[in-house]
Chains A and B, each alone.
Chain A
Amino acid sequence: MTLTNNERRVLDALAEGDGDTDAEALARTTGLGRGPVEGAVELLAEKGYVNVDETAETLYKLTDEGRGYADDGLPERRLHDYLVENDDVTTDELRDVEGFEIGIGHLRRKGWAEMGATVEPNEASRGDDEEALEALASGENVDGVPETLVDRGLVEREEERTVNVRITDEGRESAEGDDRGTVGALTHDLLASGDWKDADLAEYNVEADAETTHGGREHILRQMANRVKEVMTDMGFQEMEGPHVDAEFYINDHLFMPQDHPARTHWDKFLVEEPQRIDELPDEAVENIRNVHREGAEGGDGYHSEWDRDVARTLNLRGHTTSLSMRYLAEGVEPPARYFSVDKVYRNDTLDPTHLLEFFQIEGWVMARDLSVRDLMGTFVEFYSHFGIEDIEFKPHYNPYTEPSFEIFGEHPETGEQIEIGNSGMFRREVVEPHGIDEDVEVMAWGLALERLLMLIYGFEDIRDVHGTLCDLELLREVPVLWN
């Protein structure tokens, strides 16, 4: 009969010894752990090579606290002693005796004292608990330790399980007998010595389950980000990068967001404690932005509110990556151009299963002469089709920085519902004119949350499972990879 390596080692150890021992001793002699030994013993027992006999013994052990009381007496005993030694003791006076807080309850429960204006001691004979405590302290094992000691945490009870193993005749036969030659693992020694030629390689149960190997893998949200980046670059988009902490100048003012816009209030954005403001802003750009806020773009009107350079210098954790688009436009981009980013944004808003304080925004824009809203629509239809989202609809919408603007709706790949999957529009002249962009050049842009796309594709219900430190490793290890 074929034995595993562990079984073979245990059986050999038994045969070499007197054939009657326990699992603990076997673990020592074989060098295997107690667990593997017991596993092997169980298998050997099934084959009839060993007899197994389990016994359990209850052991009691003093805790540190219990040991202290064994030396100094239980707190209630100490209180009682004090009462016997002193007359007319009040509760307040007794309070000063060490162990009062613990002892007073037990004192009353055991009926060792009467509580009145003064505390008067009763007769208090030595109890079973005190006997047991003393015996345990002197190293004796005590039968029937009172439960109260365990409950009070003075004594710990341990079950010691002994697995006695005795080799059978069949076992001894096997250890000495014919199938000595079967070999479990093919080893370096067998190969180097040439002994493998004579070895009888044991049959394995090839249908048995094997433990799952968890190799390294990319985070599922990162896979999604990279999939999106792949689609974007395939569509001719060049990636952007830039600061997470940026001046409101780029986050809001460039987007023609009036400085008194409700979304620019203190509580919607993450401020920075130190430094609070960007060093400097380019003067010319500041003038261009100020003018467009106050006077509007050519042929239009501005806002009816003040524009303050210091507000524009205020640093925020960016609420959107459109700040990157603005920085690129400010640097000067010639049409035609396509740019994108998939990067973190921060919203001081809500934290719940579908909203995070920080998430990845997919941002993209196309700049070319004579672009129309139909080109914008065509771009999105193409983009979303790569993620299985069809039947795109465009709901007219309002953004301070785009006109026309659309919320993009698409059919949920699983449920078939129409759901919002992005926000888009043509940048207003007030946004592009400060960068000297010609009037016949349009810039269309859109944005959406990467997490939202991931949740749609995988049906995740709580985004915190996959983004952040609350992630479940099992989910990260087992979620199917994204390739399609």
Chain B
Amino acid sequence: MAVVEADPDELRRLVGRDLSRDELVDELFALGVEFEGEGDDGLEFEVVPDRPDRLSVEGLARSLRYQFGDDRGVRVPEIGRSDYKIRVESVPERPYIVGAVVRDIDLTGGVLDSLIQLQEKLHATLGRRRNKGAIGVHDLTMLKGEEFVYRGIDPDDESFVPLEIGDAGAREMTPREVMEDHPVGKEYARILEGAERVPGIYDDIGMFSFPPVINGKRTEVREDSRDLLVEMTGTDEWTVDKMLNILVYALSDRGATVEEVEVEYDDRRALKPDLSTESKTVTHDRIESMLGVEFGTDDVVDLLERSGMDAETETRDGATAYDVTVPPYRTDVMHPLDVVDDIGRAYGFNEMEPRYPDVSTVGGLTESTRLENAVRKQLVGLGFQDLLSFVLTNDDDCYTRMRRDAPDDGVRIPNPYSEEYDVVRSWLLPSIVSVLANNTHRGYPQNLAEVGFCAVQDDDENTGIREETHVAAAVSGTDAGYEGAKSRLTSLVDDFDATVGTPTTEHPSFIDGRAATVVIDGDDAGVIGELHPEILAEREILQPVAAFEFEIDALRS
């Protein structure tokens, strides 16, 4: 989610209404734009990622003007002709560039800051941190000639003076030096990692921009700049087109005039910005059935116009449909139903009366849940406190502290949040031991049980991982011992009409001679025993513990 800071006075001026702070907040909330709090230079709003056209005070104001009905329908800024041209020469890794010439912009009074904010927010969202699209804005009067060249260059062969950030920059540097020494260069060098050639933009004097990393100092935009060249480079033409359109709309809302730039590729030419509209067709029935509201056709057209769209009514196969024109700054209208969402928003979803659907279905639980619930119920009857521990753990807790070696078939997380949680547990007893260790100050006996999730690798499974539900229980206290654990195990297994045997075994977590395999209906299903005193002493559990664990599926018979 992107957070946009907006000066409330600017917002009022651009909307053209004298709204109180609360009115601003409420009206934007109704649009799905949530108030986040007070920022240093205004109010902060959270803009959801489907509407990057709202990532500026100009964009928020535009949405509000439609909301109030002060603007209606699609408005496309007029684009003037110009002789500016960008020639593209072999930039295979970042093949697309678009641009526009902007004239008579007044950047004083916070407008420059707003432009910079929009640029940053677009980079973060649509631009995918400049990977997919990056913006450069230049002072046009500092550029010589009308034909620019966008070309792939050797990062050591060329040099220019990049923008100054703190002490960095403001000296002649090669692109490689920028990527290695300049703070902005270091941040974005990853995008060009491994590339033999990097992009550069040239005018008659020489290189003036190093997209997507940094602009040159020569063309730096200041508050007193009046005419601008806006360029965007990227890996996807649709994305850079949309980013440019959003920027052009914002500058146009500030009173600037916009002129086209011709982009010349080896095999084609394109005039930018491309402010052509798109259209979507949606039927009246679909709108009514999706929203559950009956509309007149005029209502629908009105609601669409208040969403900044145009609509023409047409009749198709005897049914009413709308040919809807979508403005060029919208990136989220992919399907006719997206248009229906806009109608719903303009109408007001909270105006709609909820109704319980007249649909009859039969509910029920899965067999696994029924079995787990039955086991838990019996365990509780046997006096166990049911537990619910984390599935994620670590080798130390899950194995080492249980005197076991970590198994080769464990499920591990290569990118954990912390080293504490980098293993998916393969058994439950360590979780129970941890709970015992964390509760030695609480009254005994402590009889604890968990029915829970475990996983191990298994080539036979489609995912390569076998997911199991285990049943584990421990008795702890002065009188706790093997016999107590076994009597409960026997009782539990009996409840499921199965038989249990406990042939002796060796297990590092249990005392020698007090450990057994849990065999249920003839199959090895788990283990039972008295926990080794070394485990208890290390966790400072000063009461004996006897425990068992087995796979729940052994009880299905």
Interface residues of A (CB under 8 A from B): 214-219, 221-222, 226, 229, 232-241, 243-247, 260, 262, 266-267, 270-275, 277-280, 296-297, 299-302, 304-305, 315, 317, 336-338, 344, 346, 348-349, 351, 356-358, 366, 368, 370-375, 377-382, 392-398, 403-406, 426, 428-430, 440, 442, 466-474, 476-477
Contact = CB atoms under 8 A, between A and B. Distances in A.
Contact of B355 (A356, A374, A430, A440): A374
B362 A236 contact: yes
B239 to A, nearest CB: 6
Contacts of B448: 473
Contacts of B453: 244, 344
A279 B338 contact: no
21 contacts: A216-B382, A218-B380, A229-B369, A236-B362, A237-B361, A245-B463, A245-B465, A271-B413, A272-B413, A274-B411, A274-B412, A296-B335, A315-B464, A373-B292, A374-B354, A377-B352, A379-B356, A380-B354, A394-B350, A396-B341, A403-B340
A315 B291 CA distance: 37
A279 B290 contact: no
Given A234-B363, A469-B390, A215 B335 contact: no
B318 interface: no
B335 A271 contact: no
Contacts of A226: 373
B369 A471 contact: no
Contact of A382 (B293, B353, B356, B463): B356
Q: Which of B293, B361, B391, B415 is packed against the most chain A CB atoms within 10 Å?
A: B361
Contacts of B368: 241
Interface in B389-413: 389-392, 411-413
B161 to A, nearest CB: 33
B464 A222 contact: no
B364 A468 contact: no
Interface stretch (B76-84, B86-94, B215-223, B432-440): B432-440
List 7 A-B pairs, minimum CB-CB distance, nearest first: A372-B292, A300-B335, A377-B354, A374-B292, A233-B363, A275-B464, A375-B357
Interface in B234-286: 236-239, 280-281
A236 B32 CA distance: 32
Interface in B446-462: 446-449, 453, 455, 457, 462
Contacts of A302: 334
Given A379-B357, A469-B389, A278 B280 contact: no
B178 to A, nearest CB: 25
A217 B385 contact: yes
B57 interface: no
Contacts of B239: 304
A87 to B, nearest CB: 50
Interface string B365-393: 11011000100100111111111111110
B449 to A, nearest CB: 8
A468 B131 CA distance: 40
Interface residues of B, number: 95
B427 to A, nearest CB: 14
Interface in B179-200: none
B277 to A, nearest CB: 14
B396 to A, nearest CB: 13
A351 B341 CA distance: 35
A430 to B, nearest CB: 7
B112 interface: no
A374 B352 contact: yes
B296 to A, nearest CB: 18
A348 B417 contact: yes
A338 B363 CA distance: 8
Contacts of A442: 290
A284 B390 CA distance: 37
B49 A366 contact: no
Given A244-B391, A273-B412, A273-B413, A373 B349 contact: yes
B133 to A, nearest CB: 10
B345 interface: yes
B48 A357 contact: no
B390 A304 contact: no
A380 B421 CA distance: 35
A341 to B, nearest CB: 9
Given A299-B335, A366-B359, A396-B32, A246 B463 contact: yes
A302 B334 CA distance: 7
Interface string B78-119: 000000000000000000000000000000000000000000
B487 interface: no
B232 interface: no
Contact of B128 (A218, A244, A260): A260
B481 to A, nearest CB: 19
Contacts of B359: 236, 336, 338, 366, 368, 371, 375
A395 B29 contact: yes
B63 interface: no
A392 B415 CA distance: 39
B376 A396 contact: no
Contacts of A315: 463-465
Given A216-B384, A279-B462, A357 B417 contact: yes
A404 B349 contact: yes
Contacts, number: 278
Interface string B105-145: 00000000000000000000000100110000000000000
Given A218-B380, A378-B354, A476-B385, 17 more contacts: A216-B381, A235-B363, A241-B366, A270-B413, A273-B411, A304-B237, A349-B417, A372-B291, A378-B356, A396-B341, A396-B344, A429-B337, A469-B389, A469-B390, A470-B438, A471-B435, A471-B438
A280 B464 CA distance: 10
B69 interface: no
Interface in B202-244: 236-239
B463 A473 contact: no
A280 to B, nearest CB: 7
B315 interface: no
B350 A214 contact: no
A258 to B, nearest CB: 10
Contacts of A466: 388
Which of A237, A238, A273 is the most central at the interface, judged by chain B CB atoms within 10 Å of its CB? Answer: A273
B364 A346 contact: no
Contacts of A374: 291-293, 352-355
B489 to A, nearest CB: 15
B336 A238 contact: no
A71 B526 CA distance: 53
Contacts of B386: 216-219, 222
Nearest to B341: A404
Contacts of A280: 462
Nearest to B423: A273
B376 A218 contact: yes
B241 to A, nearest CB: 10
B289 A440 contact: yes
Contact of B357 (A222, A366, A396, A406): A366
B534 interface: no
B335 A473 contact: no
A470 B361 CA distance: 41
B467 interface: yes
A245 B455 contact: yes
Interface string B288-332: 011111000000000000000000000000000000000000001
A236 B361 contact: yes
B11 interface: no
A247 B17 CA distance: 51
Contacts of B412: 272-274
B381 A375 contact: no
A324 B392 CA distance: 20
B431 interface: yes
B392 A229 contact: no
